[in-house]
Amino acid sequence: MNQTQTSSGPILTTDGIPLKVSLKKAERINKIRAFLLVLPLLAFILITFLVPIGDMLARSIDDRQINTVFPKTFEVYKKWDRQGLPSEEVYKTMFFELKNSEGYSVGKASTRMNYSKSGWKSLLKKSKRKFKKIEEGPYKEKMIAIDKKWGDPEYWLAIGQMVDPTTMGYYLNAVDLKYDSSKNVVQQKENRRIYNKTWIKTFKVSLLVTLFCLLLGYPISYLLATLPMKYSNLLMICVLLPFWTSLLVRTVAWMVMLQQKGVLNNLLVMSNLLEDENRFQLMYNQTAVVIVMTQILLPFMVLPLYSVMKTISPTYMRAALNLGASPMHAFYKIYMPNSVPGVSAGCLLVFIIAIGYYITPELVGGKDGQMVGNWIAYHLKTTLNWGLCASLGAILLAMMTVLYWAYNKIVGIENIKLG
């Protein structure tokens, strides 16, 4: 009886604390230690990766710049029926909010308003300067007298898109749509429809580059993996040497090679294979972007392919041939399936790098080789429309996530190997 009691009661350690509690404590300390060990990495990822991405996503829908400058105007604006011009009350509120605004808020607001309707920027600036001299109404007439844009309903209607603190406007903008004055989604003006074409082009170029990299990279990697060491080392250097060369140097070298009066065209003309006036247009267009990017990204395909192929034992192929398979059949049935993890890794890597490429299209893209990255750079630097940049970037991110998800469904992510 006594014995059963001790065994069913809690097991105690020598200092009288139940073993379970003591163990838990020890475990907790270990857990904290482990956590502290990964804390620097976690903090690093949080600060350098998650926070900027979060900030970017927030920027892509944030629309508060104007709400803080013209809050009262928005209140009275909401009552307007969007027919003709707004009432004197709207003009008056706008007048005082603009006149009494301080600091740089108007500058920032006018930049934002200019995205909705070109012309707001100078209108607000000029008006703020001239409003100082106006003491009393009627404000509507006086404002229109200062600048006739105040009498243009288009400008007033454009405000309607900015009344809410958040907006989907940047995302719409990124796919050639926009809000009309009553917040319906409509197509962008025809001659400004540029982003859908750019998206398709970006996809097309990235896919082509990935495909060409695979076509060129597969045989090279096969040779690298199967040749005797002394030859394969030499070949490896040939792959790595351009990889170590500056991106700009390689791009400019291609410019010299491919331009109309460049090395390639000159050789063809000199050897009478090409008429002087029919020189190939291989530079400053989409073809140039595909050629140059393929060369630049090739090592990203070759290296994962090579490291996977290196692990495929040559005995498999020998066994297949021994069992009577034709070389083609053996390759198709044995070698290729074994190299799939390398192919997936290479393709995913090349595609991901290609889709956000910027500098090469900028240099050799010319008239039709500009990709999404180039537009992001333009808005980031010149128009300061960071909301649009953020939405373009977010769409890129979303597309990559979808791609990753689809890839996981079809091939399986465990089937990816870098070596």
Partner 1 sequence: MRKAIKAAFFGLISMAFVGSAIADITFVSWGGAYTASQQKAYIDTYDKGSSITVENYNGGLGEIKAQVEAGNVTWDVVDVLPDQAITGCDEGLFAKVDQSEFLNDLVVPPVSECVVPQIFWAYTAFYDKAAFPGKKPKNIKDFFDVKKFPGKRGIHTWANALIEMALVADGVKASKVYEVMSTPEGIDRAFAKLDTIKDHVVFWSSGSKPLELVSSGEVVMALAYNGRIGAAILSEGKNFEYIWDATVLEQEYLVAIKGGNEAEALAFMAHASSAASNAEQAKYIPYGPMRKSSIDIIKKGEPWFVKEGGNIDILPHMPTTPKVLKRAVIGDPVWWADNGAEVHERFGAWKGS
Q: Is 366 in the site for partner 1 (CB under 8 A)?
A: yes
* Of positions 41, 381, 410, 414, contacts partner 1 by CB under 8 A: 381
- Which of 131/218 has CB closer to partner 1? 131
Are the C-beta atoms of residues 86 and 156 closer than 8 Å to each other?
yes
Cα–Cα distance between 339 and 417 in angstroms, integer?
10
- Which of 198/307 has CB closer to partner 1? 198
* Of positions 89, 97, 147, 362, contacts partner 1 by CB under 8 A: 362
* Of positions 222, 316, 378, 407, contacts partner 1 by CB under 8 A: 378
How many residues bind to partner 1 according to rule CB under 8 A? 41
Specify the stretch interacting with partner 1 by CB under 8 A; choose among 131-139, 164-172, 223-231, 382-390.
382-390
* Of positions 83, 104, 184, 246, contacts partner 1 by CB under 8 A: 104
For residue 152, how many C-alpha atoms fall within 13 Å in the half-sphere facing its CB? 12
Q: Is 192 in the site for partner 1 (CB under 8 A)?
A: yes
Q: Give the rounded distance of the alpha carbon of 280 from its chain centre.
A: 33
58-97 residues in contact with partner 1 (CB under 8 A) are: none
* Of positions 385, 387, 392, 396, contacts partner 1 by CB under 8 A: 385
Q: Is 155 in the site for partner 1 (CB under 8 A)?
A: no
Q: Is 191 in the site for partner 1 (CB under 8 A)?
A: yes
* Of positions 92, 140, 178, 201, contacts partner 1 by CB under 8 A: 201
Cα–Cα distance between 395 and 393 in angstroms, integer?
5
* Of positions 13, 322, 383, 401, contacts partner 1 by CB under 8 A: 383
* Of positions 70, 115, 150, 171, contacts partner 1 by CB under 8 A: 115
CB of 372 to partner 1, least distance (A): 12
CB of 257 to partner 1, least distance (A): 13
CB of 42 to partner 1, least distance (A): 22
- Which of 128/417 has CB closer to partner 1? 128
Q: Is 116 in the site for partner 1 (CB under 8 A)?
A: no
* Of positions 56, 119, 236, 257, contacts partner 1 by CB under 8 A: 119
* Of positions 375, 387, 391, 394, contacts partner 1 by CB under 8 A: 375
Burial 332-362 (b: 16+ CB within 10 A, else e): eebbeebbebbbbbbbbbbbbbbbbbbebbb
CB of 97 to partner 1, least distance (A): 17
Are the C-beta atoms of residues 124 and 108 closer than 8 Å to each other?
no
CB of 21 to partner 1, least distance (A): 46
CB of 155 to partner 1, least distance (A): 12
Using CB under 8 A as the criterion, what x/- string covers residues 246-275 for binding partner 1? Answer: -------------xxx--------------
Specify the stretch interacting with partner 1 by CB under 8 A; choose among 13-21, 72-80, 193-201, 344-352.
193-201
* Positions in the binding site for partner 1 (CB under 8 A): 103-104, 106-108, 110-111, 114-115, 118-122, 125, 191-194, 197-198, 201, 259-261, 284, 362-363, 366-368, 370, 375, 378-385
